[in-house]
Amino acid sequence: MADGLFGALFARGDVDAGDRAWLRAMLDTEAALARAVERAGLAPAGSGAAVTAVADADFFDNGALGRAAAATGNPVPALVRTLTGLLPDSAAQAAAAVHRGATSQDIIDTAAMLVARRGLDTILADLAAAAAGCAAHAQTHANTVMSGRTLLQQAVPVTFGLVAAGWLTAIDEARRDLHRVRTARLAVQFGGAAGTLASLGEKGQAVAALLGEELGLPVPALPWHTDRLRIIELAAALTGACAALGKIARDITLLAQTEVAEVHEPAAPGRGGSSAMPHKQNPVAAIAMLGCTKQAPGLLATLAAAAEQEHQRAAGAWHSEWQPLSHLLTVTGSAATWSADLLPALRIDPPRMRANLEATAGLPMTENLTTLLAPALGPLPAYDLVAKASARAATDNITLIDALLADETLAARLAEAAITRPDLESALKPESYLGATPEFIRRALAAHAAIERTLSS
């Protein structure tokens, strides 16, 4: 978790995309390149080990590197000078292996892949915990009936198990996309000054392959200096995860409202408190998740806008990626950590769900009632009569059945069609109108089990 005034909210968890993480990743790249250059026979034996020994973030001053970057447009030239200067006299010959064949963008882009890989591993672990929580709720509450809501109004009945299954599916789809990026789209960047590796002669491709081997990253068909689809795909997958988590967080804030009170965040001393109102217990985890996820679309837009890059190396567009990508990794990681804490421990109140569903005296079942009456009355007349009865039930504070039977003409038509009061009462039972809910939950859980097998293999 990052320090600072807002770190515990928006940099929660173990995703590290800050300056220190970037420095470590750049040094890891430089050290791996030195080892690759030695293995390719372009530097004396022992050069790789000598460079690796001094490529330690503790030996570097981020502030000094940052100030030097103002003169060169990025921190790599200063990093290379410092790294070379740290070599002991006994390993002076290893300087030939430092930054050999590379340009600054090679180091920063490859470092971005390393920072992303480490961050994605943490995000995926947290999302797995969140998904497990949703799967448990889907199973436990498969038959817990509650109000479905459309346009923020009660609609037809659903179960909380179906709601949780929807959350589960969204998280699992986000996990699948993040895993695809993690395994297939992170790659070495190594092209030299203009993407030709000309300074390495015939050894250029061999060094690139060895660099990929040293870092455990694939080597693409050619350098991607101005082809930024990898960055966009990474950013889109992170934003997709934020979209899934943001939807869940918004649902929880709505279901936790005092007047609804169907779910509650786990209680703890001081949690959810207000600076002015001692009684408050705000859904702080869901609120913090939303605070993180709402930042993602703007960051994605910035990264997408930066993808238009000129010729062989960009002037400014590439530079504009570093901070938004770092920020996007951080807020996605924070939202995922909040979700891993919240979802398994979310408290569900089935009696309250039932009470809220029954508070409207059968109105959420009007669609089922219309279906029952349509054969006898015709679809449109049945709809109109049920709508009229619904309005009367709400106005006169009576049940929907009483409102229907209070219309003598309609009562006579129902009698002719042999539709009895017990038939009407049966049609108003929420459990009678859940449709494919059990099958949808089953499918979500089966898909989740399949994703677990895939991601764990």
Residues belonging to the active site: 274, 313
The DSSP annotation for 120-148 comes to HHHHHHHHHHHHHHHHHHHHHTTT-EEEE
State how far the Cα of 369 lies from the Cα of 156, in Å rounded to an integer.
Answer: 11
Alpha-carbon distances of 138 from 160, 240, 441, rounded to whole Å: 7, 22, 7
The secondary structure element, H or E, covering residue 263 is strand 263-264
**Do 1 and 11 meet the contact criterion of CB atoms below 8 Å apart?**
yes
- The residues, ordered by sequence, that sit 6+ positions from 166 with a Cβ below 8 Å of its Cβ are 444
3-class SS of residue 347? strand
3-class SS of residue 156? strand
Give me 321's structure tokens: 């990626």
Backbone dihedral region for residue 165 (phi beyond 0: left; psi -120 to 50: alpha; all else: beta): alpha
Backbone dihedral region for residue 435 (phi beyond 0: left; psi -120 to 50: alpha; all else: beta): left
**Do 147 and 155 meet the contact criterion of CB atoms below 8 Å apart?**
yes
CB-based burial of residue 284 (10 Å sphere; 0-12 exposed, 13-18 middle, 19+ buried)? middle
**Residue type (1 letter), 198:** A
Interhelix angle 296-305/322-342, rounded to 10 degrees, is 150
**Do 65 and 79 meet the contact criterion of CB atoms below 8 Å apart?**
yes
**Do 414 and 385 meet the contact criterion of CB atoms below 8 Å apart?**
no
